[in-house]
Structure 1
Amino acid sequence: MGTRYTAIFYGPPGLDRAAIGASLFAAVDQVDRQMSTWNPASDLCRLNAAPAHAWITVPAELAQVLATGLRISLQSDGAFEMGVGELVARWGFGPARRQTPADGLAPPSTPFTPATTALEVDLGRLRVRKHTAVALDLCGIAKGYGVDKLAHCLDGWGLERYLVGIDGEMRARGTKPDGAPWAVALEKPTYGTREVAGVMELEDMAIATSGDYRHWVDVGGTRYGHTINPALGRPLSNGLAAVTVLASTCMLADAWATALMVLGPVEGVALARQRGMNALFVLRDGDGFQETLILAGEPADPS
Structure 2
Amino acid sequence: MNGPDLLQQHAGLLKTRVGACWPGSRAVFRGHDLHADLHDMDWMALYVFGITGRRFSPQQIRLMHAIWTYTSYPDARIWNNRVAALAGSARSAAALGTAAALAVSEASIYGGGILVRAIDFFIRTRARLEDGASLDACVREELDTFRVIGGYGRPIASGDERIGPMLSLAAELELDQGPHLQLAFAVEDVLRAGRWRMKMNYAALVAALGADLGLSQREFQLYMFPVFLAGMQPCVAESQERPAGTLFPLRCTDILYEGPVARAWPARPR
Q: Which has the higher contact order (CA 8 A, sep 6+)?
A: 2
- Whether these two folds match at TM > 0.5 is no
Provide the TM-score with structure 1 as the length reference: 0.25
Higher helix share: 2
